[in-house]
Amino acid sequence: MRKIITVLAFASIAFSASAETIEERAVTCFACHGARGLSETENTPSLGGQQAPYLLIQLFMFREKLRAFEPMNEVTKPLTDDDLRTFSDFLATLPKPARPADAGDPARMQRAQALAQQHRCNSCHNTDFSGRDNVPRIANQREDYLAKTLGEYKDNSRHGYDGSMADVMAQVTPEQIADLAYFLARVR
């Protein structure tokens, strides 16, 4: 955690009002979420390929501390509504994560795909899990982040802007969460 805060402190220099372009200001985002929005940081999502409305809601929730994560709460605190829109629009233009070369264990992939169908993940996240509007893209997201987030919805420590995910995850076991995260990180 100390490393993240230190990185953010240095990166926030580029976030200042003196930064002129959105690309210069987004250096702060890339410090944790990876170059061009493709995260290499443990438990940190890739932002590339996300929907602008989803990103806008998340940035707003961090700014207003409706989602509690200190580094994001601090980074978003000085942002105006226009800044939030500018960042969400820009981040939505970044490339989505590439499909991994590893297609995964076929039996595990099939088991998890059946779970995703059973719990109707594709009804909100699209059939290819690319997301839409205010629903995130979960295809090819970091496996560790997916497992963490699904677990937080299950134990109700992560609150969304609606209760749908908590309702869905209440029925899912920790083993099934691991399988879903494995599948979604490798979905083709």
Q: What is the DSSP secondary structure assignment for residue 135, as one 8-state letter? A: B
Mean local confidence (pLDDT), 89-95: 96
In whole angstroms, give the CA distance from residue 123 to residue 115: 13
Tokens coding 27: 């250096």
Residues 14-69: tens digit of each pLDDT: 344 556 899 999 999 999 999 989 999 999 999 999 999 999 999 999 999 999 99
Q: How confident is the model at residue 9 (pLDDT cuts 50, 70, 90)?
A: very low
Percent of the chain with pLDDT over 90: 80
**What pLDDT sits at residue 105?**
96
Tokens coding 21: 């372009």
Positive or negative CA dihedral for 27, 55, 158, 36? Answer: negative
With a threshold of 0.75, does the pTM exceed it?
yes
Q: How confident is the model at residue 132 (pLDDT cuts 50, 70, 90)?
A: very high
Q: Which of 136, 156, 161, 151 is nearest to 181 (CA)?
A: 151
**What pLDDT sits at residue 19?**
65
